[in-house]
Structure 1
Amino acid sequence: MLRDQSPFIQCLLGILLNQIYLKNNDCYYFFSGTGFTWFVTAAGAALVFIFHSANQKLLDYSLGFGAGVMTAASFWSLLEPAFKISYEQSYINSQLNFVLIIIGFLLGALFVYMADLLLPSITSNQLFQFVSNKKTPELKLKNHQDKLSNLKIHSSVRSRLKRNEDLTKQAHLPVGDSPIEEIKEITIKTDERTKWHRLLLLIIAVTVHNFPEGMAVGVAFGSISSANNATLAFNHARNLAVGIGIQNFPEGLAISLPLRSFGIGCFKAFWYGQLSGLVEIVAGLIGVCFVQLANCLLPFALSFAAGAMLFVVFNEIIPEINPQNRTISSWCVIGMYIS
């Protein structure tokens, strides 16, 4: 009995440990499989030590690469297996398979959309300070708006920037104290915070999609002991772990490289890149211990992750890409090809 723990937690841990004890061999194979997928994710994230420079072009290319990886993984690693598994489950009406997967897909997109709305800016700032040990700039918009209203300016920010010299002369201010220079600084800082917010959503989407993949590996290894042909079941589970591990390689890089391009150190970018792979070990442990329940939820979880990833790609990453730089589109295609 654990002290200072609720009966629910103690009961849950007891069931979990009992399942691990009963499936000792399955858990051994499971840790080997999910350990491999995590290792490949960490290996992909380790490439950040090679691409160690931090600049805007690298950030754009890495976002394009990440968009390609996430798009390919959404269709070929999530949606396709979701349909295949749902049709193989005889207890589900075949007419409802498509509807259940669509519901999971829409809920995944809704999850990221709500995270985008409900994620306060102060939370994003705290996460940025925690990851990079840097302070995010605070915007003093009210003070600048007062200055602009006194000058009776009613045009857009872009037009104000073009009339910088005229406004400076009108206000009789030194060049360094010009409100237009302050607006320019505000615009740059706002863009940085917007990019960090989009990068945070990308990390959330990749981490969320790793959960059902880890659960799939856990279910595959957890079914070995009850399979009619244990050798065939093991080969299937092993091939699944290898396939997921291979497509995890660019995903680790898709997280660590944008972090590095944003100015975060190589070691921290690698650390947070490989952390996304640890989710698969936790999800796989649930899958191997509760095979039947996890197998029922797997199609829904896969489609949920696909919806979350595609929403981030089309709502956050693609609008960030510079339309005048076609090289970014090439990196998106490269990411899809590698994945």
Structure 2
Amino acid sequence: MLESFSQLNPVMQAFIAGLFTWGCTIIGASFVFFFKSVNRKVLDVMSGFAAGVMIAASFWSLLAPSISHAEENGYGVLAWVPASVGFLLGGVFLRMTDKIVPHLHLGEPMENREGPQTQASRNLLLFLAITIHNIPEGLAVGVGFGAVAAGISQDNTLLSAIGLAIGIGIQNIPEGSALSMPIRADGNSRLKAFNYGQLSAIVEPVAAVIGAAAVISMSAILPYALAFAAGAMIFVVVEELIPESQTNGNSDIATMGLMVGFTVMMVLDVALG
């Protein structure tokens, strides 16, 4: 199976990986058919775990290969430049997205909604918040497979790209549940809650294709693209996931969830890379 997958065009590989991460979100959202609500402590651990996965992926799968690629391609002592510029641009991109897309973070009252003023429902605003932070996850997957095609020898192999997709997919399971469960708890039908949860990740296959196609067609941007995805993910972690997990009296166990998530992603990347 791996051999057949390796023969595919890298953009198709990224698309399939994006479908996998979306599928993991679907699995998480489907929990709403079995449970009406989820304990706040569990949600905080889920957020912490997702944060840990994204932090580890940002370094092991994106920033380190960015620097390595720059070193191997003539940047010399300035090999830190693409990683630094790309990382900051990723954060700016998410900040601008936050400004122009109305959204509401999980657990927040409606008066704390962000972005332009709108009459959109609470469910839609929650959906948009999760969708925003699924964009950099999809980009990271796509850039990972694009990097393999571009030939970063030491740090990016097909297995490491697959490992990145698996790590993001794993954290998408609790993420899908973390969106669908509160929507169900607000009195909505199970089907409606499920659809909001699973559709929040439909952007991941699209972003994966965009990321892979961009770095393949413009190989010079590869180290910047890797760092861009990392910066966007770290912005989500610091601006959303960590605060959400730390404000409900479950800070210690949420932090342990983060450490477990970081360890899982680190093991996947190092073992498969």
In the superposition, the TM-score normalised over structure 1's length comes to 0.58
- Which of 232, 238, 243 is the equivalent residue of 2:158? 238
Identity value in percent: 24
| Aligned-pair CA distance for 1:32 | 5.1
1:272 matches 2:200: yes
Matches within 5 A, 1:67-146: 67-90=51-74, 93-116=75-98, 118-119=99-100, 123-124=102-103
- Please report how far the alpha carbon of residue 119 of structure 1 lies from its aligned counterpart in structure 2 after TM superposition: 2.8
> 1:190 corresponds to which residue?
111
Q: Give, as a single letter, the amino acid of the residue that structure 2 aligns with 1:106.
A: L
Native 8 Å contact 2:61 2:144 kept in 1: no
Match of 2:264 in 1: 338
Which has the larger displacement, 276-285 or 302-311?
Answer: 276-285
Shift of 1:299: 1.0
Q: CA deviation at 1:79?
A: 0.9
Q: CA deviation at 1:327?
A: 2.2
Q: Quote the Cα distance in structure 1 between the aligned partners of 2:46 and 2:221.
A: 33
Name which of 11, 15, 18 aligns with 1:38.
18
**Could you state the TM-score of these two structures normalised by the residue count of structure 2?**
0.70
Rounded to whole Å, the distance in 1 between the matches of 2:22 and 2:128 is 19
8 Å Cα contact 2:55/2:237 also seen in 1: yes
Greater C-alpha radius of gyration = 1
Supply the distance in 2 between the matched residues of 1:212 and 1:298 (Cα, whole angstroms): 12
Cα displacement (A) at 1:323:
5.8
The residue aligned with 1:300 is: 224
Distance in 2 between the 1:272 and 1:74 partners? 21
The SS at the match of 1:263 is: helix
Q: Which runs of 4+ in 1 moved over 6 A?
A: 194-199
Instruction: Answer yes or no: is the 8 Å Cα contact 2:62–2:144 preserved in 1.
Output: no
How far did residue 72 of structure 1 move? 1.5
**Alpha-carbon distance in structure 2 between the residues aligned to 1:276 and 1:250:** 14
Alignment pair present for 1:29 and 2:9: yes
- Could you tell me which runs of 5 or more consecutive residues in structure 1 were left unpaired when the two chains were aligned: 1-25, 129-186, 224-231
> Are 1:214 and 2:161 matched, yes or no?
no
Distance 1:318 1:324, change over 3 A: same
CA contact under 8 A between 1:42 and 1:273: conserved in structure 2? Answer: yes
In 2, Cα distance between the equivalents of 1:86 and 1:311?
23
Alignment length (residue pairs):
235
1:315 aligns with 2:239: yes
Q: How far apart, in 2, do the equivalents of 1:60 and 1:243 lie?
A: 25
1:200 Cα offset (Å):
4.3
The equivalent residue for 1:261 is: 181
CA–CA distance in 1 between the matches of 2:227 and 2:235? 12
In 2, the alpha carbon distance for the partners of 1:67 and 1:323 equals 16
Cα RMSD after superposing both structures: 3.5
Matched, 1:48 2:32: no
The superposition leaves residues 54-89 of structure 1 with CA deviations (integer Å, 9 ceiling, x where unpaired) of: 346143333222212211111112111111111121
For 1:137, the equivalent position in structure 2 comes to none
CA distance in 2, matches of 1:272, 1:73: 21
With over 3 angstroms needed to count, the CA separation of the structure-2 counterparts of 1:201 and 1:83, relative to structure 1, is farther
- 1:283 corresponds to which of 211, 229, 232: 211
Contact between 1:30 and 1:218, CA under 8 Å: does it hold in 2? yes
Counterpart in the other structure of 2:187: none
Q: For structure 2, which runs of at least 5 residues remain unmatched after alignment?
A: 1-5, 115-121, 185-192, 266-273
The farther-off stretch of 245-254 and 97-106 is: 245-254
The residue aligned with 1:156 is: none
Cα displacement (A) at 1:333: 2.1
Q: Which SS does the other structure have where 2:94 is aligned?
A: helix
Instruction: Name the residue aligned to 1:16.
Output: none
Counterpart in 2 of 1:250? 170
Going from structure 1 to structure 2, the CA distance change for 1:254 and 1:74 (only over 3 Å counts) comes to farther
- Does the alignment pair 1:205 with 2:129? no
Counterpart CA distance in 2 for 1:208 and 1:251 is 14
Name the amino acid aligned to 1:337: T
Q: Could you tell which deviates more after superposition, 65-74 or 201-210?
A: 201-210
For residues 96-126 of structure 1, the C-alpha deviation after alignment (integer angstroms, 9 at most, x for no partner) is: 211231122222222223333x236xx338x
